[in-house]
C-alpha cells in the first residue's frame, strides 16, 4: 500500500511495481501513465517534480485503483474511460472495451483508396468508438450507429456529446431485423460483431470473462457465422451498389466468412491480417 507523504517519484514506481505483477512491462508503463494522468499528475509533472509530495486524497485514490486491479477489474472500467483513435471515450461494465484490433481496422478504412463516404453505418456500435472515429475522419458523412443494448447505446450517446461529434444513434437488433432503417442506403457498412466461440472461453483472460458483456463477444459453436449472415441480409437492403463493407472476423473462419460474401454476389472480397499476422478483417465491395 502506498503510504502518505510519498513523493510523485515514489508513487510512480509504486504503480509500476504493482502493475508488473499482472501486466507486461510496456503495458505496466502505459497503465501507470493513465492512472497518474487520471489523478491529475501527468508523467511530465512526475518527471519535472519528482520530490513533490503526492496529496493524501490522491494516495487513497491510487490505493483503491490498485486494489481493484488486483481483484481483476479492467483498468478501463475502473477509470470509466479509455482512448480509441485519439478520442477519449467513456466506458462502463455492460459495454465492450474497444480493442486495438478494432482501432487498426479504422486505420485501414481511413487510409484506403476511397475517401468520400457519404453515408456510413456501424452495426453493433457498442461504445460508439468506430462510428465516432469515422465521423471525425469523414466529417461530411452522415454516420449512424446501430446497437441492440440500451446500456451501450446510452454510453455511445454520451461519448458523442463528450467529444462534440454528431452521430445518429439508433436502437435495433441486427439478428431479428428489428430496426428503424427502412429505405436508408449506405456506401460504407462497418461491423465488429460477436465472433468468439463459446468453446474459446477457456482461452480468454478472467478479467474479460468476469467483467465484459458476453453478448458482445460470444457466439454459439454450432452457428459461428450467424452475425455475418445477418450482415449480408442487411447489406442486401441497405448497402449501395459499389459500396464498401468492413468487418472484424474470427481468425479460424476467414475463408468461410469470405465465401459467404462471395456467394452473396460481392465481386471483391479480401481477407486482411492484423498486426499479429492473424486473419482479422474482411473488406468487400458490392
Please provide residue 16's backbone torsions phi and psi, each rounded to the nearest 5 degrees. Answer: -60, -45
Residue 238: its pLDDT value, please? 95
Residue 219: strand pairing partners: 197
Residues of the chain with pLDDT under 50: none
User: Computed over its alpha carbons, how large is the radius of gyration of the chain?
Assistant: 21
pLDDT in tens, 98-107: 998 999 999 9
What is the torsion angle, in degrees rounded to the nearest 10, for the CA atoms of residue 197, residue 199, residue 203 and residue 206?
90
Residue 115: its pLDDT value, please? 64
Residue 70: its pLDDT value, please? 92
Q: Which three cell numbers stand for residue 242?
A: 459499389
Quote the DSSP letter at residue 280.
E
Question: How many whole angstroms separate alpha carbon 127 and alpha carbon 155?
Answer: 6
CB 158 within 8 A of CB 183: no
Residue 113: its pLDDT value, please? 64
CB-based burial, 61-74: b 16+ in 10 Å, e otherwise:
bbeebbeebeeebb
Q: Which three cell numbers stand for residue 264?
A: 452473396
Question: How many whole angstroms separate alpha carbon 152 and alpha carbon 158?
Answer: 10
**Residue 104's Cα: distance from chain center in Å?**
10
What is the torsion angle, in degrees rounded to the nearest 10, for the CA atoms of residue 251, residue 253, residue 257 and residue 259?
120
CB 204 within 8 A of CB 181: no
pLDDT in tens, 132-191: 999 999 999 999 999 999 999 999 999 999 999 999 999 999 998 777 787 889 999 999
Asked if CATH classification 1.20.1440.230 holds for the domain at 93-285, the reply, yes or no, is no
Residue 276: its pLDDT value, please? 87
CB 119 within 8 A of CB 186: yes
Q: pTM of the prediction?
A: 0.89
DSSP SS3 for 270: strand
> Hey, where are the domains in the chain?
8-71, 93-285
Q: Which three cell numbers stand for residue 220?
A: 454459439
Amino acid at each position: 500500500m502506498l503510504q502518505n507523504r510519498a513523493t510523485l517519484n515514489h508513487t510512480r514506481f509504486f504503480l509500476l511495481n504493482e502493475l508488473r505483477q499482472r501486466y507486461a512491462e510496456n503495458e505496466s508503463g502505459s497503465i501507470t501513465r493513465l492512472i497518474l494522468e487520471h489523478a491529475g499528475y501527468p508523467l511530465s509533472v512526475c518527471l519535472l517534480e519528482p520530490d513533490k509530495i503526492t496529496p493524501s486524497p490522491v494516495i487513497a485514490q491510487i490505493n483503491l485503483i490498485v486494489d481493484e486491479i488486483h481483484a481483476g477489474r479492467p483498468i478501463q472500467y475502473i477509470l470509466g474511460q479509455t482512448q480509441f483513435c485519439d478520442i477519449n471515450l467513456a466506458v462502463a461494465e455492460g459495454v465492450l472495451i474497444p480493442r486495438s484490433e478494432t482501432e487498426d481496422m479504422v486505420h485501414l478504412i481511413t487510409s484506403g483508396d476511397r475517401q468520400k463516404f457519404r453515408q456510413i453505418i456501424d452495426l453493433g456500435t457498442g461504445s460508439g468508438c468506430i462510428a465516432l472515429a469515422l465521423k471525425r475522419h469523414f466529417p461530411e458523412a452522415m454516420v449512424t450507429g446501430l446497437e441492440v443494448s440500451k446500456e451501450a447505446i446510452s454510453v455511445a450517446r454520451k461519448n458523442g456529446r463528450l467529444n462534440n461529434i454528431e452521430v445518429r444513434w439508433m436502437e435495433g437488433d441486427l439478428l431479428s431485423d428489428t430496426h428503424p432503417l427502412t429505405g436508408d442506403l449506405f456506401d460504407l457498412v462497418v461491423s465488429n460483431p460477436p465472433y468468439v466461440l463459446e468453446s474459446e472461453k477457456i482461452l480468454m483472460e478472467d478479467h474479460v470473462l468476469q467483467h465484459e458483456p458476453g453478448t458482445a463477444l460470444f457466439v454459439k459453436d454450432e452457428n459461428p457465422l450467424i452475425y455475418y449472415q445477418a450482415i449480408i441480409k442487411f447489406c442486401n437492403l441497405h448497402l449501395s451498389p459499389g459500396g464498401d463493407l468492413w468487418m472484424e472476423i474470427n481468425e479460424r473462419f476467414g475463408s468461410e466468412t469470405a465465401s459467404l460474401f462471395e456467394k452473396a454476389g460481392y465481386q471483391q472480397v479480401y481477407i486482411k491480417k492484423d498486426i499479429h499476422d492473424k486473419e482479422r478483417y474482411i473488406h468487400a465491395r458490392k
